A = this chain, B = another copy of it.
Amino acid sequence: MFKLIKKSKKSQARLGILKTAHGTLKTPFFMPIATKAAVKNLTTDEIRELKSPIILSNTYHLYLTPGMEVMKKAGGLHKFMDWRGAILTDSGGFQVFSLSKIRKILPQGVEFRSHLDGSKHLLTPKKVLEIQKTIGSDIAMILDVCPPSTASHKEVAEAVSMTTKWGKEAKRVIKLKEFSNSKQLRFAIVQGGIFEDLRLKSLKDLAELDFDGYAVGGLAVGETNQEMYQVLDYLAPQMPDNKPRYLMGVGTPENIVEAVKRGVDMFDCVIPTREARHGRLYLQVKSGFGKGFYETINITNAKYKNDFSSINNSNLKKYSKAYLHHLFKTGEPLGMRLATLNNIEFYLKLMDDIRKYIKRGAF
């Protein structure tokens, strides 16, 4: 399922292969986000052309809309959105805690009201696996409790303990006949905030349950970069070597580079798509990953009005910055679309470069 190809001698960086029901993926990789069954502004044809082998979609959103009745009839998310690559779906836990204002953690799961219509729902470890089975994702995440960055040691300890409890329940469910004959991979999510003892406990508990991969959740939720790197410094070396490691919701290009150095294999983040919608473009400045290897520019800035230099990423080469500036200033939707193409391409190329550097021992 996961094969470690190479470990860097200069850092903890790893090169690997992850087999899924929809393709074999080279790690480390980045997953463009298709929250509601579409990468914002882009077609799946474009994602294919950009050569992303995997996208991420959100269990919480798909569960609420279009809902599982539609998803079942559609024959799963791959068919629904015309995507033939791999799909990872998250557990829904993070969205319940960030989007729903009313929720209650019960021993059996998390009860919440929809942020759309106030309807009441209960997500249990089993329910979350059922939803992801209906979606048909290649990698499913186990339900977790994701506390905010401001949570106390006690609160985080409770979250860790509940996450373990739910992990055990999920493991029981996965062994049921209706789940065990699936090619779907299931990853558990390590919680613990920025508390070393809790992180290590969460990892130990979940590692014993032998999931297909391990994610680090509850980071990039408000802590500093240094705090995030510190967690990875002590956590990653303890993570199973033969399982993929996924840092959820991260991050900036620097965050990704630093996390790869610490042994992380998988990433997802809204940055490239969200920033594109505000006219922020990610542009490579030089090869390698040293200080200033890329820049971000805000194309709505007046200085681009008369800048006829082209945007260098392959999809935008034929357009000038002045044209993209014009599209954003006049509210033409093509602007967001082109900026999204640019940023996704930047992130995918970043991962490609990272893999190349690890391969030749230069990372």
Which A residues fall within an 8 A CB radius of B?
Answer: 36-43, 61, 65-66, 69-70, 73-74, 80-82, 305-306, 308, 318-320, 322-323, 326-327, 329-330, 332-334, 336-338
Asked if A320 contacts B40 (CB within 8 A), the reply is: no
Chain B residue numbers with a CB within 8 Å of A336 are 333
Asked if A74 contacts B41 (CB within 8 A), the reply is: no
Pairs of residues from A and B, 4 with the lowest C-beta to C-beta distance, nearest first: A66-B326, A38-B334, A82-B318, A38-B332
Asked if A332 contacts B70 (CB within 8 A), the reply is: no
Chain B residue numbers with a CB within 8 Å of A80 are 320, 322-323, 326
Asked if B74 contacts A322 (CB within 8 A), the reply is: yes
Query: Which single member of B69, B323, B337 contacts A41 (CB below 8 Å)?
Result: B337
The docked-state distance in angstroms from the alpha carbon of A80 to that of B308 is 9
Asked if B332 contacts A36 (CB within 8 A), the reply is: yes
Asked if B74 contacts A320 (CB within 8 A), the reply is: yes
Asked if A326 contacts B37 (CB within 8 A), the reply is: yes
Chain B residue numbers with a CB within 8 Å of A37 are 323, 326-327, 332
The docked-state distance in angstroms from the alpha carbon of A323 to that of B65 is 11
The docked-state distance in angstroms from the alpha carbon of A213 to that of B322 is 33
**What residue in chain B is nearest A340 (Cβ atoms)?**
B333
User: What's the nearest-Cβ distance from chain B to residue A298, in Å?
Assistant: 17
Asked if B327 contacts A38 (CB within 8 A), the reply is: yes
The docked-state distance in angstroms from the alpha carbon of A42 to that of B70 is 28
Asked if A322 contacts B65 (CB within 8 A), the reply is: no
Asked if A65 contacts B320 (CB within 8 A), the reply is: no
Chain B residue numbers with a CB within 8 Å of A42 are 334
The docked-state distance in angstroms from the alpha carbon of A326 to that of B35 is 12
User: What's the nearest-Cβ distance from chain B to residue A71, in Å?
Assistant: 10
Asked if B337 contacts A306 (CB within 8 A), the reply is: no
Asked if B82 contacts A41 (CB within 8 A), the reply is: no
User: What's the nearest-Cβ distance from chain B to residue A154, in Å?
Assistant: 38
Asked if A323 contacts B74 (CB within 8 A), the reply is: yes
User: What's the nearest-Cβ distance from chain B to residue A31, in Å?
Assistant: 18
Query: Which single member of B43, B74, B308, B330 contacts A334 (CB below 8 Å)?
Result: B43
A323-B37, A330-B36 known; A305 vs B66 contact (CB < 8 Å): yes
Chain B residue numbers with a CB within 8 Å of A333 are 40-41, 333, 336-337
The docked-state distance in angstroms from the alpha carbon of A69 to that of B82 is 44
Asked if A326 contacts B41 (CB within 8 A), the reply is: no
The docked-state distance in angstroms from the alpha carbon of A327 to that of B330 is 24
| Known A41-B337, A42-B334; 16 more pairs at CB < 8 Å | A36-B326, A37-B323, A38-B327, A40-B332, A43-B338, A65-B329, A65-B330, A66-B322, A69-B306, A73-B306, A73-B308, A73-B322, A80-B323, A81-B323, A82-B319, A82-B323
The docked-state distance in angstroms from the alpha carbon of A42 to that of B42 is 11
Chain B residue numbers with a CB within 8 Å of A38 are 327, 332, 334
**Which of A39, A61, A66 neighbours the largest number of chain B CB atoms within 10 Å of its CB?**
A66
Chain B residue numbers with a CB within 8 Å of A81 are 323
**What residue in chain B is nearest A69 (Cβ atoms)?**
B306
The docked-state distance in angstroms from the alpha carbon of A69 to that of B43 is 35
The docked-state distance in angstroms from the alpha carbon of A73 to that of B80 is 45
Asked if B36 contacts A70 (CB within 8 A), the reply is: no
